[in-house]
Amino acid sequence: MSAATYAVPSSGFRLSKEHLAVAVPVAVIAAAGGFLVSHYLNRRSCKKGQVNTCVHKDSPKVVHSFDMEDIGTKAVYCRCWKSKKFPYCDGAHTKHNEETGDNVGPLIIKKKDA
């Protein structure tokens, strides 16, 4: 066996220095390409998913409107679409965040102290 040939013990497999010089960069490029493609596809699939899975699905668009005078001193609104009291927050985002790794929280509107 010459100094430019590498052998795997007990397998009979031999790899020359020239083959190794080609195989390693090709393997690195293939791994990086696979990672980038999977990352790109995951981002695309995330954009296609529905946010609202259960609130007023019979309506073409879910819209809520409130008068500032009716809010009182503070109102907490759901932004995860999982609240059983939608459009008000009931803390359902906590379970959603634990299950998905998301970081969504409520929208809090309050009046400034005079």
Identify which of 44, 109, 58 has the alpha carbon closest to the alpha carbon of residue 79: 109
The residue type found at 102 is: D
Closest to 80 measured CA to CA, from 58, 99, 66: 99
> In the chain, which residue ranges form alpha helices assigned H by DSSP?
17-48, 68-71, 92-100
In Å, the largest CA–CA distance within the chain is: 89
Instruction: Tell me, yes or no, if 61 is annotated catalytic.
Output: yes
From 61, 74, 84, 110, active-site residue:
61
Enzyme catalytic residues = 61
